[in-house]
Amino acid sequence: MKNPRSTAPCYASVLLATSLISGTTYATPLTRDNGAPVGDNQNSQTAGPNGSVLLQDVQLIQKLQRFDRERIPERVVHARGTGAHGEFTATADISDLTVAKVFHQGEHTPVFVRFSSVVHGNHSPETLRDPRGFATKFYTADGNWDLVGNNFPTFFIRDAIKFPDMVHAFKPDPRSNLDDDSRRFDFFSHVPEATRTLTLLYSNEGTPANYREMDGNSVHAYKLVNAKGEVHYVKFRWKTLQGQRNLDPRQVAEIQARDYSHMTHDLVSAINQGNYPKWDLYIQVLKPEQLAQFDFDPLDATKIWPDVPERKIGQMVLNRNVGNFFQETEQVAMAPSNLVPGIEPSEDRLLQGRLFSYADTQMYRIGANSLSLPVNRPRSEVNTLNQDGALNAGQTTSGVNYQPSRLQPRSEQASARYVETPLSGTTQQAKIQREQNFKQAGELFRSYSNKERKDLIDSLGEALAITDEESRYIMLSYFYKADSEYGTGLAKVAKADVQRVREMASKLND
């Protein structure tokens, strides 16, 4: 009786044997996840020519299983993005400010940068009016430091407890999944501190031309700590060496009609052509005793630090595109909590919430061992004592996964301790004392050219025109309080009563 099993060798085996005999070099044979060669990747196994597909077709089953699991949960914000590799070089001696090795003069540190838009999903048009994320992972000798910021130097809110509400207001209406400016202004009519950042959003700065011609900002203040334990508060800013460029509403419409990925195309193409984009890194520095000298709270994320000089401390160049978008750009896990000795968080209420939220969302998306993935893995030695978890690819051989222990040599950690921060008062839930919600918004408006002011007034005025009457007038009073020309122009476009707006603005505190 004939053996029902085929005696023909699989194609991969024939190919491999032929290459050994002939000396011809072929591509590596296609394999399954266990490394075994795939015999036929074009046809499923069936019970005869007309029979059902067989469950024993391991390649078919595995391909479908893997396909069903190709996606990880999308980021709630900053889902749409692109990334690139590069290098940061420290160019100034700031040892008087920090012990962080990334800032040792002459130090070269590999980096990965992820640029992004904020509100919409992974395949949303890059022409949409939106803040842009500018997140940099520094693979330093002390471990990874993530500087997670935006192109705007300020943010819409000052307290992390409002972050989910703000994002929900920006997202499409949950009933229809359609954008609705009236929902945004309903929320922001209760948030006067957002006036400056809303001005940025509806100006042409809300539609940058590309990622290369865009600045980046830490938004928050951080602490730098030197060898003496002395603290200075700093804000970081990336200044593009390509020059800043934004799109006006007409240009946005033209680009959106032909390319919904124009910012990604621009960055990838520039790097492929050897036109490597560069940014200089600047810091503003305040001593702790200077915080009380401002007429606003300098740790409020809705404020810039006017008249505080900037100091250049380094330069970054992006010189390599990713080899695999999912493995690198999509799986990179940025979080403000990834800090190194010499850099600490300030008491900024929004930053304090982000320290938890960002790391938590990355652990939810990618898993407990997400930081061991190649794009997230530190270049320095890792010794966490963490145990197990899905996709744990570690090579731990010690039986001691706890502390303290006399079975394993003790490591000295004192140099990495946080500095002591003086505290006073009692626990509370209250607004900050020095708000100053409108002054900087007016200064920003007056810094724009006549054309930029007109574009801003047209874009924001048209959005305000379709919101509900009460929210519209409250928002208009905020912008009028910032600058009377600004508020008047918006009221005219929104077809509102300027006198009513003026009267409401007169009742607002500065």
Distance CA 151, CA 105 (A): 26
Q: Name residue 43's amino acid.
A: N
Cα–Cα–Cα angle for 90, 91, 96, rounded to 5 degrees: 80
The shares of helix, strand and coil residues in the chain, as percent rounded to the nearest 5, are: 35, 15, 50
Distance CA 444, CA 482 (A): 9
Distance CA 204, CA 455 (A): 7
Q: Are 358 and 133 in contact (CB under 8 A)?
A: no
Is 85 among the residues known to form the active site?
no
85, 120, 144, 150: the active-site residue? 150
- Measured CA to CA in angstroms, residue 499 lies from 374, 438, 458 at distances of 60, 19, 20
Rounded to 5 degrees, what are φ and ψ at 264? -65, -45
- Measured CA to CA in angstroms, residue 217 lies from 99, 131, 201, 282, 291 at distances of 22, 11, 15, 10, 20
Helix (H) or strand (E) holding 500: helix 498-506
Q: Which of 155, 482, 436, 153 is nearest to 295 (CA)?
A: 436
Distance CA 196, CA 482 (A): 9
Question: Which residues on adjacent β-strands are paired with residue 22?
Answer: none
Exposed/middle/buried for residue 383 (C-beta within 10 Å: 0-12, 13-18, 19+): exposed
Is 232 among the residues known to form the active site?
no
Q: Which of 136, 162, 301, 303 is nearest to 220 (CA)?
A: 301
Distance CA 194, CA 175 (A): 26
Q: Are 241 and 288 in contact (CB under 8 A)?
A: no
Q: Which of 502, 503, 506, 475 is nearest to 488 (CA)?
A: 502
As annotated, the active-site residues are 78, 150
